[in-house]
Amino acid sequence: AQTVTQSQPEMSVQEAETVTLSCTYDTSESDYYLFWYKQPPSRQMILVIRQEAYKQQNATENRFSVNFQKAAKSFSLKISDSQLGDAAMYFCAFTIRGNKLVFGAGTILRVKS
Amino acid sequence: DVKVTQSSRYLVKRTGEKVFLECVQDMDHENMFWYRQDPGLGLRLIYFSYDVKMKEKGDIPEGYSVSREKKERFSLILESASTNQTSMYLCASGRSGNGNQPQHFGDGTRLSIL
């Protein structure tokens, strides 16, 4: 079965500090792609960052970076210098053999000023 | 920018009604998807389409059907709405490929079945 587990239903971070959101997944495939999506209160889902499973180097996008551990099937998201605009629901997801996405349950991130 | 437009942001219907949710994308994407989002369950795939008039079942297709008569439009149909179909519905589109293409989402339709 293809599954994604996000073990933290909610997280809080102080503005300007760093937070890490956890994600583990399960697949028997060797070639796949991993994504983090952000859903702010406005509801539109936005791509945050993506990682190819065959690449060992961790992806980074400005203040967002991932820690990809393929053997452990772990794909955590680190947000540095957190901003109020980072407050949202974050979803971890992956695709295999085509473009079907398998999503986790999501983590609500609250940013305190 | 890619734009995925869902016809309604909020919708209230009665049990037994036939409900249509419409989705239009403006980027000539081959793939289109309908998801259902429920608290604690994330997004679950209902149906998807890789081409015009082509459709495939996702993980939870029961009680739903879809139509894709034109490349830019993908409709979700609740044949006979029931209260357990009260949910947020998200449409997405994306380019075909080997799985590395991100999906682009609409704003969602919050559907209430009374």
**CB-CB under 8 Å, B40 with A45:** no
Considering only the C-alpha atoms of chain B, give the largest distance between any 2 of them, rounded to a whole number of Å.
41
Say which residue the tokens 């996405």 belong to: A101
- Residue A91 CB coordination number (10 Å): 25
How confident is residue A98, by pLDDT bands cut at 50, 70 and 90? Answer: low
Tell me what the pLDDT averaged over chain A comes to.
93
At B41-77, the pLDDT tens digits run 999 999 999 999 899 999 999 999 999 999 999 999 9
Q: What is the mean pLDDT of residues B29-42?
A: 94
**CB-CB under 8 Å, B43 with A95:** no
**CB-CB under 8 Å, B92 with A50:** no
At A2-42, the pLDDT tens digits run 899 999 999 999 999 999 999 999 988 888 899 999 999 88
Question: CB–CB of A103/A4 below 8 Å?
Answer: yes
- Give the list of residues 6+ apart from residue B23 with CB closer than 8 angstroms, or none: B4, B5, B6, B7, B32, B34, B73, B74, B75, B76, B91, B93, B106
How confident is residue B82, by pLDDT bands cut at 50, 70 and 90? Answer: very high
What percent of chain B clears pLDDT 70, i.e. is strictly above it?
A: 98
User: Which of A43 and A73 is assigned the larger pLDDT?
Assistant: A73
Whole-Å CA distances, A101 to A57, A60, A81, B33, B43 = 22, 21, 29, 10, 9
- Give the list of residues 6+ apart from residue A62 with CB closer than 8 angstroms, or none: none
**CB-CB under 8 Å, B101 with A101:** no
Which pLDDT score, from 0 to 100, does residue A81 have? 98
Please, what sign has the CA dihedral across residues B84, B85, B89, B94?
A: positive
pLDDT of A56 over the 90 cut? no
Closest by Cβ to B45, choosing from A44, A96, A100: A100
Q: What is the mean pLDDT of residues B25-54?
A: 94
> Which residues does chain A have within 8 Å of residue B101's beta carbon, measured at their own beta carbons?
99
Q: Could you please report the per-residue DSSP string of B67-114?
A: EEEETTEEEEEESS--GGG-EEEEEEEE--SSS-SPPEE---EEEEE-
Q: What is the mean pLDDT of residues A43-71?
A: 93
What percent of chain A clears pLDDT 70, i.e. is strictly above it?
A: 98
Task: Give residue A12's identity as a one-letter amino acid code.
Answer: S
CA distance B42 to A93: 10
- Residue A79 CB coordination number (10 Å): 23
Closest by Cβ to A101, choosing from B41, B103, B108: B103
The DSSP code for A84 is: G
**CB-CB under 8 Å, A101 with B45:** yes
Measured in angstroms, the CA of B100 and the nearest CA of chain A are apart by 6
User: Which of A63 and A98 is assigned the larger pLDDT?
Assistant: A63
Interface A-B, measured as beta-carbon pairs within 8 A, has a size of: 66
- Give the list of residues 6+ apart from residue A26 with CB closer than 8 angstroms, or none: A1, A2, A3, A4, A5, A73
Which pLDDT score, from 0 to 100, does residue B101 have? 82
